[in-house]
Amino acid sequence: MRSILTIILNDLKIYSSQRGNLVGLLVIPVLLTVVIGWSLGRIGGGGPTRLRVDLIDLDGSDMSAQLIEELRAANDALVLCPPDNDADDYCRLEDEPLDMDRAIERARSGRTSALIAIPAGYAAALNDFQTVTIDYYSRSDPMQPGPVLQSLNAVLQRTSSASMTKGVSSALLDNLTNAVTLPALDGETRDSFLNTIYHRALQLSTYQPPAVLFRVVDANEDESGIDNGFNQSAPGMGSLYVMFTVLGGMAVLLRERRQWTLQRLMALPLSRAQILGAKIGVYFTLGMIQFFIVFAVGAAFGMDFGSSPPALLATMAAFVLCITALTFALAPWIKSEGQANGLVLLLSLSLAPLGGAWWPLEIVPEFMQTIGHLSPVAWAMDAFQDLIWYDGGFTEVIPEIAVLMAAAAVLFIIGIRSFKYD
Amino acid sequence: MQTMVEARNLRKTYKRADGSTIEAVKGVDLDILQGEIFSLLGPNGAGKTTTISMISGLVAPTEGDAEIGGYSITRQPMEAKRLMGFVPQEIALYPELSARQNLSFFGRMYGLGGKSLSRRVDELLEFVDLADRQSDRIDTFSGGMKRRVNLAAGLLNSPPLIYMDEPTVGIDPQSRRRILDTVKMLRDEQDMTVLYTTHLMEEAQELSNRVGIMDHGEIIAMGTQAELTQQVGEEDRLEIMTGAQNVGEALIGSMQQEIAGVTRVLFNPPEQIGDNGSESTPARLTVFAKRGRTALPQIIQTLDAAGIDIQSVEVREPDLEAVFLALTGRALRD
Ligand SMILES: Nc1ncnc2c1ncn2[C@@H]1O[C@H](COP(=O)(O)OP(=O)(O)OP(=O)(O)O)[C@@H](O)[C@H]1O
Ligand SMILES: [Mg+2]
């Protein structure tokens, strides 16, 4: 055991004596984690402060104009296109007319947050106390209404309750004129009376606190919880750089064989298990150090570590072990250091995005999520998510850890069997 | 005298990348006695490194076994390895570490530590005369200095037996001299047993108590230098460098028959060497003759008459080179 530790310490000393290694282990991962963490925070944390919303008014009535005004008043972040377009063409209409088809396409492609279409006959329907449907197109999940839908709902709620009040008043008026034998009202007086009621009701409900609340949150002010970009970037960059660092061991093993230091070790009174154990220990240790470095950056930026440090450590260890095993399984087949370095790049840069190290796997199509789970990164990221985002404990990450450990076991068997002593 | 290394029927077959196999060592028997310098002498690719790798436990023999001080290298590798030091043909050191760090690390691997480790490292740095450069990184050392540290690393555990695989390759004459003196010192002052490989006849001749001559994976002759040279008899060897002309079979035949004392004549035509064939070895005629000096005038006369251009003539007493030539028909250095 003492000789294993001596070898590990010696190899770490050699590793750190090479300046390039320190840049790879420390400088680049730290910079990338900061940049990506900060960027993800900007995008996912709060969202932009202005929302592009297409609006098509097929009614063109006073009532629809009023609805639009209400909508504007309800949320000043909405930029209604085309009416509220600015000189910079924030609406990106490029001076083309906005018809229904184009607007639907814009909403579908995500260029606008939503499309609100007021149908022809909106005012007439409201006047006759009939149901009217306002079409709302958006890519966002209707179960989790975004700010646009929330605003629209609030406005429509008020409009329909005002309309209902008007309807109730109208029936009341009919009953009253019949029951109390008041002189029959002429049409114009009646309409004017009901409209006054409608507007009064609308006014009252506007001053009532709305049923649905929303606000646009500035990413910079919010550094806690799900919104912190480092909760994604630190585990993601950590996994990526663990792969760079640990898989890099393939080239080092090859170099040690070429410079005969591995052979000198083998001529010493050491068992093969000791030598192999030490070499595995070296890359496992380097991988863990890499994770700690990146997570330290996350911690400095307020990253959340969940509530189960042992489970987090176990996840890190399982992932590093899996990548270490992959290194030893591949090493015997590698012929040159150039080949090894190429393979490190190829594997790291494909397994990382595939497994969701750069962006959460939730946002990719389902079949890509399935394929992604061929990458050990996906399992690690799943576990990190359970721990960091959803505050899970050991039980939640046991399946992921089990998968990583099983893969590690299989790869180690391959690696140890084909390790060349000659 | 006690036997230190006893190898029996060592064989190693390597698989090449294309699937074919190469028999690098073809059944070697070897006995190295306690306190002697034993040299394995052979040209490049003869199988010296492969043999040393098998008896040091680095490479598993395809067949056969070796006992080191009574311990089988295949069945009791730990015990056997504790008895040996190893100086590989390559500079097996960490280039990023200093001489001292390298020696300390390998010393720790032998279980040394604390004061005894640093004392041993001091001793060895002194021994190979590098105490003043001990803190410099290996990759800043000259070839000769690296070789000396490489040698010191094989001596850390003060082993009774040491293997040295071509320890003088690629260094200047002074460094070579130093290493050869060191090897003799190990035997004469520390009573160590040394297995030394080389492709240089002079080194084997200077150092060895006994020599094994190796070629194509086999030991083709073994014994003291006197025993070996006896095999080629009392013949002198005349090395005659000739010009570009070919020495034909007819001329060789007539020399063997007509000149008194000549027993055998070999002709090596010029060979292209170097990366792009830019250089060539001179053509060489080797004549074995009893009392070579007496036969010399007549040999020169015969060659002259045949129009052969003679550039130099050398008369050699029987030596290891002659033995190799006699056994293989090739010169060692080719
Ligand atoms: N790992 C290997 N795989 C395949 N062939 C090998 C291997 N090691 C050695 N050989 C072959 O075995 C033969 C003997 O090689 P070896 O290194 O033992 O020779 P050597 O006498 O030490 O030569 P040199 O003086 O060049 O060091 C050579 O033909 C070599 O190409
Ligand atoms: Mg060799």
Strand order in the sheet with B283-289: B262-268, B283-289, B236-242, B310-316
- Taking CA atoms, what residue in A is nearest to B89? A260
> Ligand 1 in contact with B198 (CB < 6 A)?
no
Residue A221 has pLDDT above 60, yes or no: no
Contact A334, A67 (CB under 8 A): no
- What is the mean pLDDT of the segment spanning B122-141? 94
Q: What is the pLDDT of residue A215?
A: 35
| Residues B151-197: tens digit of each pLDDT | 999 999 999 999 999 999 888 888 899 999 999 999 999 999 999 99
Helices (H), B235-290: 249-258
Residue A224 has pLDDT above 60, yes or no: no
Q: What is the pLDDT of residue A213?
A: 35
Q: What is the pLDDT of residue B116?
A: 94
Ligand with an atom nearest the CA of residue B24:
1
Rounded to a whole number of angstroms, the distance from the CA of A379 to the nearest CA of chain B is 37
Q: Using pLDDT thresholds of 50, 70 and 90, give the confidence band for residue A47.
A: very low
Q: Using pLDDT thresholds of 50, 70 and 90, give the confidence band for residue A6.
A: very high
Rounded to a whole number of angstroms, the distance from the CA of B182 to the nearest CA of chain A is 21
- Return the amino acid letter for B135: S
Contact B65, B238 (CB under 8 A): no
- What is the mean pLDDT of the segment spanning B205-210? 93
Query: Which residues of A fall within a CB distance of 8 Å from B158?
Result: none
With an 8 Å Cβ cutoff, the interface of chain B facing chain A consists of 14, 53, 56-60, 77-79, 81-82, 84, 86, 88, 90-97, 101, 105-106, 108-111, 153
| Residues A50-75: tens digit of each pLDDT | 778 888 998 988 888 888 888 887 77
Query: Does the distance separating the beta carbons of A422 and B56 come in below 8 Å?
Result: no
Q: Using pLDDT thresholds of 50, 70 and 90, give the confidence band for residue A84.
A: confident
DSSP letters spanning A206-257: HHSPPSS---PPPGGG--SGGG-THHHHHHHHHHHHHHHHHHTHHHHHHHHH
> Ligand 1 in contact with B53 (CB < 6 A)?
no
Q: Is the peptide bond before B270 cis (omega within 30 degrees of 0)?
A: no
Task: Find all residues with CB under 8 Å of A221, minimum gap 6, and list them.
Answer: A46
Identify the bridge partners of residue B21 per DSSP, sorted by sequence position: B15
- Give the closest residue (by CA) to ligand 1 atom 12: B24
Mutate to test the pocket of ligand 1, among B15, B16, B22 (most ligand atoms within 8 A of CB): B22
Query: Does the distance separating the beta carbons of A7 and B91 come in below 8 Å?
Result: no
Residue B212 has pLDDT above 60, yes or no: yes
Whose structure tokens read 């409900």? A205
Q: Using pLDDT thresholds of 50, 70 and 90, give the confidence band for residue A390.
A: confident
Query: Does the distance separating the beta carbons of A17 and B92 come in below 8 Å?
Result: no
What share of chain A in percent tops pLDDT 90?
29
- Give the closest residue (by CA) to ligand 1 atom 25: B44
| Residues A97-127: tens digit of each pLDDT | 888 888 888 887 777 878 888 888 888 887 7
DSSP state of A371: H
H/E run at residue A39: helix A28-40
Q: Using pLDDT thresholds of 50, 70 and 90, give the confidence band for residue A246.
A: very high
Contact A313, A401 (CB under 8 A): no
Query: Does the distance separating the beta carbons of A271 and B92 come in below 8 Å?
Result: no
Q: What is the pLDDT of residue A207?
A: 58
For B140, the 3-state DSSP assignment is helix
Residue positions counted in chain B: 334
Domain boundaries defined on chain A: 49-216, 227-416
Query: Does the distance separating the beta carbons of B58 and A260 come in below 8 Å?
Result: no
| Residues A361-378: tens digit of each pLDDT | 877 788 888 889 999 999
Q: Using pLDDT thresholds of 50, 70 and 90, give the confidence band for residue B40.
A: very high
**How far does the centroid of ligand 2 lie from the alpha carbon of residue B215, in Å?**
12
> Ligand 1 in contact with B24 (CB < 6 A)?
yes
Which of A17, A268, A271 has its CB closest to that of B109?
A268
Q: What is the pLDDT of residue A210?
A: 41
**How far does the centroid of ligand 2 lie from the alpha carbon of residue A75, in Å?**
82
**Bigger pLDDT: A80 vs B1:** A80
Which of A267, A271, A422 has its CB closest to that of B86?
A267
Query: Does the distance separating the beta carbons of A268 and B92 come in below 8 Å?
Result: no
Q: What is the pLDDT of residue A87?
A: 79
Rounded to a whole number of angstroms, the distance from the CA of A422 to the nearest CA of chain B is 5
- What is the mean pLDDT of the segment spanning B27-42? 94
Identify the bridge partners of residue B257 per DSSP, sorted by sequence position: none
Fold entry, domain A49-216? abc type-2 transporter like fold (3.40.1710)
Of A139-148, A337-346, B6-15, B110-119, which range is least confident?
Answer: A139-148
- What is the mean pLDDT of the segment spanning A267-288? 92
**Bigger pLDDT: B260 vs A414:** A414
Other C-beta atoms within 10 Å of A413: how many?
A: 12
Task: Find all residues with CB under 8 Å of B321, minimum gap 6, and list them.
Answer: B201, B237, B331, B332
Q: What is the pLDDT of residue A219?
A: 33
Average pLDDT, chain B: 89
Category of A202 on φ-ψ map: left (φ > 0), alpha (ψ -120 to 50) or beta = alpha
Q: What is the pLDDT of residue B333?
A: 66
C-alpha–C-alpha distance, residues A40 and A75, integer Å: 25
- Count of CA atoms in the C-beta half-sphere (13 A) of A220: 1
